[in-house]
Amino acid sequence: MTVALMWEARAVPGRGGDLLTWTRTQNLPGTPLRRETFRAPGDRVLIITWWDAPYDAELPELPEPPGELLTRPVHRWRFESVASG
């Protein structure tokens, strides 16, 4: 099964670049199948990692960034892949 972990944070206005840089320096203990980084208006950053694991597996996630970068706590979601059809 493939599990996708989504991590989304909103930076203090004007600090989106700093948040993006911070996320890129964060290494996970373990190697996901894939890791992608996205940004959006409003100084938001989204990281999605894909893992070959059961839905309820203990998986490494990015930590909370330094508080001075954030306007709110990080949002986290977990999804499992489903067969096409």
Ordered per-residue pLDDT tens for the chain, 85 residues: 899 999 999 999 999 999 999 999 999 999 999 999 999 999 999 999 999 999 999 999 999 999 999 999 999 999 999 877 6
Q: Of 53, 74, 82, 81, which Cα lies nearest the Cα of 9?
A: 74
pLDDT of amino acid 9: 97
pLDDT of amino acid 42: 94
* H-assigned helices in 11-84: 16-24
Residue 18 C-beta-side C-alpha neighbours within 13 Å: 12
Structural tokens at position 17? 């670049």
pLDDT of amino acid 25: 95
Cα–Cα distances in angstroms (integers) from residue 38 to residues 10, 17, 24, 84, in the given order: 12, 12, 11, 25
What's the pTM?
Answer: 0.91
Through-space distance between the first and last CA atoms of the chain, rounded to whole angstroms:
16
